[in-house]
Amino acid sequence: MANRKLDMGLAWTQATGTVGANRDLVSVLAGLFLFIPMFVLVLALVGSGIDFGDAGSEPDPERIAEQVNALLLSNWWALLLVVVGQLCGSIAILALLGDRSRPTVREVLGMVPRLILPMLGAQLLVGLLTQLPSIVSGMLPEAAGALLSLVSFPITLYLSVKFSLASAAIVLGHRRNPVDAMRQSWALTKGNSFRLFMFFVMLVVLGMVIGLLLMLVIGLVLAAMGDRVALIGNSAFVAVLVAVFYTLSYALTASIYRQLSPPAPGDDADLFA
């Protein structure tokens, strides 16, 4: 059977519709698994104070990167909290918004411990495959590494798109084997890779533009309230933006997966109604 063609407008309408219809429960899950861990991490990093150099001087990217890496290592517990929260949040929100059995919150939370290892395995495998060219290029001489990075960048993007539905295959498709989930994602995205790529690019660009504009406005308001208020307020706002972005991405993933998957018995009822 030929693969379905992705309707991006329908995917967006369904995703925003399910989030709106379940906004109270989604807010609780996103706040617990996404906002709180990210707020703790951002507050720890921002509060540590990164030295960007003297005013008017050109920032040194390598020096800043070294400081960020050192801060992440020293705050490993906060980074681990974010990773675990993201894993749990993706499972819970995908199940709540995409499972046609309409699970209760208790059932959704019960899925988390059962699916966290398959989800972690899939993310590690996808991360390894998509970042392998970058890892190899880093081991080569500078000229060869730069050439490999240039050539491998489209491959990395392609693989990221092809495996973008692996998490939905685990939670909604009941694929407990990460490799099996990745295989199904690859099959479902066949014929829709370019549409998905453009959809994800538009989503990321739109999210970045809106986020930066909001951060600029909120940052100016908070700056007038003092350094401590600005520190906590900006950290909280960044965490809110990240939580909203992840929540929408999970809702879109669930919508796209259901749209591209073959209809199952009992699918006559519209989950997104």
If one compares 4 and 213, the residue with the highest pLDDT of the two is 213
Q: What is the mean pLDDT of residues 188-196?
A: 91
* Rounded-to-integer distance, Cα 20 and Cα 17, Å: 5
Rg (the chain; Cα; Å): 20
pLDDT of residue 61: 67
Q: Is 189 in contact with 164 (CB distance < 8 Å)?
A: yes
* Rounded-to-integer distance, Cα 181 and Cα 186, Å: 9
Extents of the domains making up the chain: 8-54+61-260
Q: Is 191 left (phi over 0), alpha (psi -120 to 50) or beta?
A: left
Place of tokens 């046609």: 100
Q: Is 30 in contact with 85 (CB distance < 8 Å)?
A: no
Q: What is the mean pLDDT of residues 90-107?
A: 90
Q: What is the mean pLDDT of residues 158-185?
A: 94
Q: What is the mean pLDDT of residues 53-75?
A: 68
Q: What is the mean pLDDT of residues 6-33?
A: 92
Its pTM stands at 0.85
Q: What is the mean pLDDT of residues 46-61?
A: 60
